[in-house]
Amino acid sequence: MIKDGNKMNQLAPAKVRPGDRPKASTINRLIDAVGFPRVIRENPMKFRGGISQPWTLAHSLSGTNNATCTITAGTISYGSVDIAVAGGDVTLTGTPEFVYVRLERSNESTTLGHASTRPASDSTYAYFVLASFTSTYGVYSLTAIHHKGDIYLQVPMQ
Cα 142 to Cα 19, 106, 149, distances in angstroms: 27, 32, 17
Q: How many helices (H) and strands (E) does the chain have?
A: 1, 12
pLDDT tens digit at each of 158 positions of the chain: 444 454 444 555 556 666 666 666 666 666 666 655 544 444 444 444 444 445 678 888 888 888 999 888 888 887 778 888 999 999 999 889 999 999 998 888 899 999 999 999 999 998 999 999 999 888 988 888 888 878 887 655 55
Cα 16 to Cα 1, 23, 26, 85, 88, distances in angstroms: 19, 9, 10, 48, 47
